[in-house]
Amino acid sequence: MKMICYRIVALFCLMAILDACAPTRAVLPLCYKENQISASVGGPLIHYGNNITPVPYTTVTYSRGISDSTTVFASIHPTSALYGNLQMEIGLNKYLINNDSAKFAITVAPTLNILIRDTLKRVYPQIDFNFIKRNPLNDNYYYLGVCNWFEPATKKINGEKQANIWFPSPQAGYVWNTKKGLMLQAEFKYLVPFRRNDIGPVEYVKPILPYGGMGIYLGVSYKF
C-alpha cells in the first residue's frame, strides 16, 4: 500500500509538470500601466480511444506593465481546481533586448509555480526565455523559446535521490493582434523531451518514444 501511494504521488507530480505548462503569458512586455486579461485552453496531446486530443487545461492570467520593459502577472488554473488541485503562478516578463528597428526582442520570465493538493505543497521555480520576431507589416509576431521548470526537492516522495532537477520544454508560438486590443495566441510545446513518460492513466503523444509529450495551446487576451 505504501508503494502504491508513492507511485500515485509521483505520477501526480509528473502530470503536474506536464499539464501545468501554460502558454507564455504576456509574450511581449506591456507598456507602463497597461493591463491585460488572458485565458487559454490546451495541454498535452493524449490518445483518447482511436483519437488524439489535447487535454482541455485552462489558465486565466492578469498582467500589468510596471514599466515599459517589465510586466508582472498572476495566473490560476480553473480546470485543475475542479479536481482538487490548487495551481497558480506569479512572475514577471522583462526585455533583455528590444530592437525596434530590426523588429526583434529577447525576453526573460522568472516565475514561481505554486501547487497544493491535500497535504502536498510544492513551489516550482520556472524561468522562460523567448526570442520574438515582429512582422514589419502589422502588429503580429512569432516567438521561439524554452520553458524551464526546476525541482527544488533533493529527494523524491519515496526518499530516493532526485535524479532530475531541470525540466526544459522548447516552445514556438504566434500572436495575432487586432486594432481593438484583442489578441489571439497559438503555441506548441515539446514537454520535457528527456523525461520517460510511458506509464500512467493516460497515453501521451510522444515525438520520440518513450520520452516527453507534445502540447498545443490556444489563448485569447484583451489589452487595456
* Residue ranges in the chain whose pLDDT is less than 50: 1-14, 19
Asked whether 213 and 54 are in contact (CB, 8 A), the reply is no
Give the 3-state secondary structure of 134-150.
Answer: ECCCCCCEEEEEEEEEE
Question: Which tens digits make up the pLDDT trace of 86-107?
Answer: 899 999 999 999 998 999 999 9
Q: What is d(CA 3, CA 41) in angstroms, rounded to the nearest whole number?
A: 34
The domain in which residue 57 lies consists of: 2-223
Q: What is the pTM of this model?
A: 0.84
Q: DSSP for 47-110, please give it.
A: EETTEEEE---EEEEEEEESSSSEEEEEEE-HHHHHTT-EEEEEEEEEEEEEETTTTEEEEEEE
pLDDT at 44: 84
pLDDT at 223: 94
Q: Who contacts 211 (Cβ-Cβ below 8 Å, separation ≥6)?
A: 192, 193, 194, 195, 196, 197
Percentage of the chain modeled with pLDDT above 70: 85
**What is the total count of domains within the chain?**
1
Q: What is d(CA 9, CA 1) in angstroms, rounded to the nearest whole number?
A: 12
What CATH number has the domain bearing residue 15?
2.40.160
- CA 23 centroid distance within chain: 5
Question: Which tens digits make up the pLDDT trace of 103-150?
Answer: 999 999 999 999 898 887 889 999 999 999 999 888 999 999 999 989
